[in-house]
Each structure stands twice: as structure tokens, then as C-alpha cells.
Amino acid sequence: MKKLGFIGMGNMAQAIAGGFISRGIIDGNDVYAYAPNTGKLKQNAQRIGFEPADSISNLVESSDTVIMACKPYQIDSVLDEISALLKGKALLSIALGWDYAKYKDAFEKRNVPLTGKDRVRIQFIMPNTPAQVGEGVFLFEQMHTLDNEERMQVMDAFSKLGMVREISTDLMGIGGAITGCGPAFIDMYIEAMGDAAVKYGIPRKLAYELVSATVKGTAALQIETGTHPGELKDAVCSPGGSTIRGVTALEEAGFRDACIKAIDAIQGK
């Protein structure tokens, strides 16, 4: 990743570009981005420290590694314009649904080589929004065509912005549902618990701070210790105490079932 180019500069691309630059992973002068809204692109370039490109083709020509960060429905038309320019370059994609197999089909239809010296090297990555504060989760599809050393460098760079895990293609969908959609569900929990705190007199800002810090600390405790979450829950539940009464109320309200059904809905079950 000596020269890195972003096609699209939405929230996720901003988080990744900003994280790479602020952590010294790559110099801002070697990071390029293109987006149709040139005014907003230039504002983000000034704020984050990357170089705005005046066209997608110029962006690709200036980069050795390209991150596809535009909307999934835009990718076909983008590939029509730049697929030939991607020869010999690495393509990292963070667009939902565009896994290795889909890119393989797209490049084969355009007669772009996927083998040999001039091949396009492909890696699908599923990020999530906490990457904006260096607490992201990045799922790397197991199937890829990056060079081994190149892939290690890419994974190391992303690990500076959060957790990196390799996952098989057949599990990318469910993995993305958990990590990509999960923040929205957790935000709903934070909001709901905040409402409960406000109901009993805690100011709104403080309520959200208390709930969010509790979520963060509980998650950190589980990750660091590796303890089963049920065991951690049991450790807080004294016999006849307040917590077990709250746990019982959540179970009666179908808390677990609602969580599972949310994922079922995403998976179309």
C-alpha cells in the first residue's frame, strides 16, 4: 500500500483513510480519493489530509492499491470505466455483497486477467462503523488473490483500526450481519437503557455516557478474559437480587428471541 486510492469517500472510507493517515500507516500525500461531489471531497481532503482526484481514472493510475468504497449498485458502472486500469493492482472492496466470486465474474466478463503478472489482486473486506474511533471489526474473506506478504501488510494496517478476522466466504454474510448491522441494534439498546435512566431522573447526556461505558466495559471484559457471557452474567446475579429480577424481565419480554429474530430477518429467514 505505497499509493492508496479510495473510490468513494463516505463515512466508512473517511474512517479508514483518516485512521491510516493519523496513525502514520501511510502518508497523506500518498492517499487519493475520488467522489462525484467535488466540493465535499475537497472539504474532507482538507480535514483528513488526503489528495482529492479529479477523476476515477486518474485516481486508479496514481494508486497501486485501490479501495472500492462506493455504493454496491455503482460498482458495475465504475468497473466499466476502470477495469482495464486495474491490471497489476490490488483491489480491496468494502462494498456489501461484492465478494471474490462476484468480482471474478465481473472481471472475466470484461476480459481482465485474474492470473499472471498483470492480474487484478482481489480482497473483500467487511468493516463496521466503530472503525471511526479505532474500535472496528474487519472481516477478511478467506478467498482472495493478494500476494501473501501483501495481504499480511493490509491486515496489519487494518488491525490498527480495530479487530481483524479471516472468515470463510460462506460465513461472510452472517458475519457481516453481526458486525455490520449489530452496531444499530446495540445503539437501540443504549437508547432504550438511556430512556430508562432518564425516566428515573438521570440527565440524558449522563444517561447515555453511563450506558455506553457499561456496554464498552462489559464487551472488553468478555474479549480480554474469553469468559462465556453467560458466566459473566451469572457473576452479577446474586440470589434473589436486583440483577436476576431484571434478567427475568428481559427473558419474559423475549429479549434473546428478539435478538435472534433480528438476524433471521437480515438473513431472510
**In the sheet that 31-34 helps form, which strands lie side by side, from edge to edge?**
51-52, 31-34, 4-7, 65-68, 90-93, 121-126, 136-141, 162-167
Q: Specify whether 27 is located in the same domain as 110.
A: yes
| 18-75 pLDDT, tens digit each | 999 999 999 999 999 999 999 999 999 999 999 999 999 999 999 999 999 999 999 9
- CATH (domain of 39): 3.40.50.720
Give the end of a domain, one of 167, 201, 230.
Answer: 167
Instruction: Tell me which of 167, 197, 212 is where a domain ends.
Output: 167
pTM of the model: 0.93
List pLDDT tens digits, range 125-150: 999 999 989 999 999 999 999 999 99
**Do 122 and 255 fall into the same domain?**
no
- The rounded distance, in Å, linking the Cα atoms of 227 and 34 is 44
- Contacts of residue 179, defined as CB under 8 A and 6 or more positions apart, other chains included, come to 126, 128, 137, 139
User: In which domain, by residue range, is 17 found?
Assistant: 4-167
Read off the CATH number of the domain in which 229 is found: 1.10.3730.10
Is residue 15 located within the same domain as residue 99?
yes
